[in-house]
Structure 1
Amino acid sequence: EAFRKDFASRVWLTYREDFAPLPGSTLTSDCGWGCMLRAGQMMLAQALVLHFLGREWTWSEALTLQPLDTETWTATAAKRLVTSLEASLQGAMRTSDSKPSPAPSGQNPGSAEEADAHLKEMNHRTLVSWFGDTSSAPLGLHRFVYLGQTMGKQAGDWYGPSVVAHILKKAVKKAMDPGLAGITAYVSQDCTVYSADVLDCHKAPRAGETPDDTPRNGPAPPPTPPNNRAVVILVPVRLGGERTNPVYFEFAKSVLSLEYCIGIIGGKPKQACYFVGFQDDSLIYMDPHYCQSFVNVS
């Protein structure tokens, strides 16, 4: 039951269709080619969930979802699940203007807990909106494709995990949403993480804090407090040739066991997945290869 709640609380991002054309193309779907980008989105979403909501947080709606195994996972069942998620998001749009107020002194402790849960739910819905399939979403597919063009990639191309890691880094760096202030990403070079570079990322000014980014109509915003900062560490690495070398199995499992591991993305062209855990010698993953219609989560 605890595993089901945790797994169902992950942000699941899949192929979509019928959204606005992607930058530099007429494509209105990423079906068949965007799986690695979707896997990268899911991994980044998990990093943000850990930072803003904490490792112990679970989505309240996860308690109402029925477990589905591979035998019962049909198109009809999947559509019912998607419909329930969309209804939740639409409900959030009607209540997003309301803010939880501090509990007056003397009120029962449950009120403060309810206010905290409500605030986290609002943060969760805001987090999901950052990954919307619109040009305005700071971490959406349109933004990723736009940034990919600076690395010679176009909509419809295969994006490898290393390219996606650098796209994630650029997207986080250039995000102007105040909620993402203080979040940075570090991509290791030659499979080596240099602690000094990670610390530099942690202390790096956010967008708008440097003189070059000062808004024309006013002063730069105040620096982000250190306790609101976070660094997402990405390590591109190839674990074998055509197939994963078995010598790395135990290492991969040990990495996935870390409390703040955000997972592993990888695979072959048109076969990328997001790996979040393991059971015995089998990996547990989230599959982006399910084409759904565009949903406006802005």
Structure 2
Amino acid sequence: MENKDTDEVEKLKTKFISAWHNVKYSWVLKSKTYFSRNSPVFLLGKCYHFKAEDAESPLESSSSNETLDGDLITGNVEAFRMDFASRVWLTYREEFPALRGSALTSDCGWGCTLRSGQMMLAQGLLLHFLGRDWTWSEALNLQPLDTESWTSSAARKLVASFEASLQGERPPGTDPLPLSQGRAQEADVHLREVYHRAVVSWLGDSPTAQLGVHRLVEHGRSSGKQAGDWYGPAVVAHILRKAVEEATDPELRGITVYVAQDCTVYCADVIDSHGERNQRPDAGTHAGNRAVIILIPVRLGGEKTNPEYFNFVKGILSLEYCVGIIGGKPKQAYYFVGFQDDSLIYMDPHYCQSFVDVSTSDFSLESYHCPSPKKMPFSKMDPSCTIGFYSRSVQDFEKISEELAKVLRPSAKEKYPAFTFMKGHGQDYDLPGPPALERKEKPFLAESRRAGATAGDFVLL
């Protein structure tokens, strides 16, 4: 009994330490995120509308699901929340195995761009293995994150949680979903959950995780980056490419990453990436049919994002093959996944959570999914970002390039598109190779922190 009490005390201690890290690294909690009932909400190519017939119960399913413009999917609040919460959420972690060559066992304060890049990569992998319509069955059962400031009242809640755990109590939740009918359907559900766990495990926080922070930091060394440095969106794009290229898991051989050069996508290079040239010898059945995640580092203005690009960003996030944007505020990276009116919807990596051992077969998935979205005005968006797309085949890429040509048409005031498509290979234009990566930045740990947003519930106006 004494050992059990000691374990519970250690768990409580861990909770308090995590709470302190969340204050220190700008996860200062505020109450709500507000969404309008009267404007559509776009989330990675899907469109939802919150205007419910029953105004007194805005969080319940509406009785109608209309279609806007024929190809936009509309839904209610519950459908939006389930879609958002099904996206993989990667945040700061602590107490993971030390990063090679350092004593760091946490990426708190410096790893937010890496985490945002991981989230974008995770979305590409979800599209690849599960498709855009996949949602996690437990998404709506997630417990909302605390929406109070870390005051004495929040501390009391932690103590109450600790006491409840000693008494064997469990937080109330909905009953498990009923088993699928039929063996075929049950097998399909099981397979989808296997892929869901596989994606999360590849992004885990251990040296053996194929796409985890340990591997990303190692790949960053060739770009002059060390653990504890700040990573810019363009640097992370190249790190992700290296990580996927050198991954050894057989399931990852059917996908690769292409990074645009100098805001230019060279079509022949992307087609080659799909597998027609430079095929890896061990690609097996995926030969000639690899999917490609296309990453395009861009700069949307000078010191601040040019407002002329706001509609461009909206157009990008409205496309079903978009896997999001690595962006954020200056020195504070977010993963942008959608928008409503003049606000971006994002997932925030600035939340310190405890290490999870993803090598076990039954590791908890709850901390890898965010229950509530956050919003940020377009006007606060840092101009430096990396845009991502998923292309399943050469035919998909041809369709993507045609559709993007419409989105890329510059406005009357902004004469130049954010990026361009060029025929041929990059080498045909005598390019010296990948552009120089961003200069080394100071880590967050050396900077004063501003209060940031958090994941709380959202409110309809």
Q: 1:256 maps to which residue?
A: 317
Q: 2:99 maps to which residue?
A: 22
Q: Pick from 117, 129, 141 the counterpart of residue 64 of structure 1.
A: 141
Normalising by structure 2, we get a TM-score of 0.53
Amino acid of the residue matched to residue 31 of structure 1?
C
Structure 1 residue 23: Cα displacement = 2.2
Q: Secondary structure at the match of 2:89?
A: coil
Q: Pick from 139, 148, 156 the counterpart of residue 228 of structure 2.
A: 156
Q: For 1:288 and 1:118, how far apart are their aligned partners in 2?
A: 29
Superposition pairs of residues 180-199 of structure 1, within 5 angstroms = 180-199=252-271
Cα 1:10/1:110, change in 2 over 3 Å:
same
Q: Secondary structure at the match of 1:231?
A: strand
Normalising by structure 1, we get a TM-score of 0.80
- 1:58-77 Cα deviation digits (max 9, x unpaired): 01110322566966997969
Amino acid of the residue matched to residue 166 of structure 1?
H
Matched, 1:141 2:213: yes
Between the two proteins, what is the percent identity of the paired residues? 71
Segment drifting more, 255-264 vs 269-278: 269-278
Superposition pairs of residues 172-211 of structure 1, within 5 angstroms = 172-203=244-275, 204=277, 207=280, 209=281
Structure 1 residue 195: Cα displacement = 1.3
- 1:228-271 Cα deviation digits (max 9, x unpaired): x2100000001112221110000000000000100001135641
Q: For 1:296 and 1:270, how far apart are their aligned partners in 2?
A: 29
Contact 2:279 2:287 in 1 (8 A): no
Q: Secondary structure at the match of 1:119?
A: helix
Q: 2:80 maps to which residue?
A: 3
Q: 1:129 maps to which residue?
A: 201
Cα 1:281/1:257, change in 2 over 3 Å:
same
Contact 1:4 1:67 in 2 (8 A): no
Q: For 2:96 and 2:287, how far apart are their aligned partners in 1?
A: 37
Contact 1:132 1:141 in 2 (8 A): yes
Q: Pick from 345, 349, 352 the counterpart of residue 291 of structure 1.
A: 352
Segment drifting more, 233-242 vs 17-26: 17-26
Cα 1:293/1:9, change in 2 over 3 Å:
same
Contact 1:14 1:292 in 2 (8 A): yes
Superposition pairs of residues 58-137 of structure 1, within 5 angstroms = 58-66=135-143, 110-137=182-209
Q: 1:214 maps to which residue?
A: none
Structure 1 residue 224: Cα displacement = 1.6
Q: Secondary structure at the match of 2:323?
A: coil
Q: 1:51 maps to which residue?
A: 128
Q: For 1:292 and 1:113, how far apart are their aligned partners in 2?
A: 35
- 1:176-205 Cα deviation digits (max 9, x unpaired): 111101211000011111111100111155
Q: Secondary structure at the match of 2:265?
A: coil
Q: Secondary structure at the match of 2:284?
A: coil
Contact 2:205 2:212 in 1 (8 A): yes
Q: For 1:20 and 1:268, how far apart are their aligned partners in 2?
A: 29
Which ranges of structure 2 fall in alignment gaps of 5 or more residues?
1-77, 162-179, 360-461
- 1:151-187 Cα deviation digits (max 9, x unpaired): 1000000100000000000000000111101211000
Contact 1:158 1:269 in 2 (8 A): no
Q: For 2:315 and 2:148, how far apart are their aligned partners in 1?
A: 30
Structure 1 residue 133: Cα displacement = 0.5
Q: Pick from 336, 339, 353 the counterpart of residue 275 of structure 1.
A: 336
Which protein has the bigger helix share? 1
Matched, 1:222 2:222: no
Q: How many residues were matched structurally?
A: 258
Cα 1:294/1:269, change in 2 over 3 Å:
farther
Amino acid of the residue matched to residue 243 of structure 1?
K
Q: For 1:113 and 1:63, how far apart are their aligned partners in 2?
A: 21
Q: Secondary structure at the match of 2:303?
A: coil
Segment drifting more, 59-68 vs 158-167: 59-68
Contact 2:272 2:278 in 1 (8 A): no
The alignment yields a C-alpha RMSD, in angstroms, of 2.4
Q: For 1:68 and 1:26, how far apart are their aligned partners in 2?
A: 30
Q: For 2:342 and 2:146, how far apart are their aligned partners in 1?
A: 19
Cα 1:282/1:268, change in 2 over 3 Å:
closer
Q: Secondary structure at the match of 2:190?
A: helix
Cα 1:155/1:68, change in 2 over 3 Å:
closer
Q: 2:295 maps to which residue?
A: 234
Stretches of 4+ aligned residues off by more than 2 angstroms: 65-77, 108-111, 204-207, 220-223, 267-270
- 1:55-113 Cα deviation digits (max 9, x unpaired): 00001110322566966997969xx9xxxxxxxxxxxxxxxxxxxxxxxxxxx973312
Amino acid of the residue matched to residue 233 of structure 2?
P
Amino acid of the residue matched to residue 141 of structure 2?
T
Q: For 2:319 and 2:149, how far apart are their aligned partners in 1?
A: 31
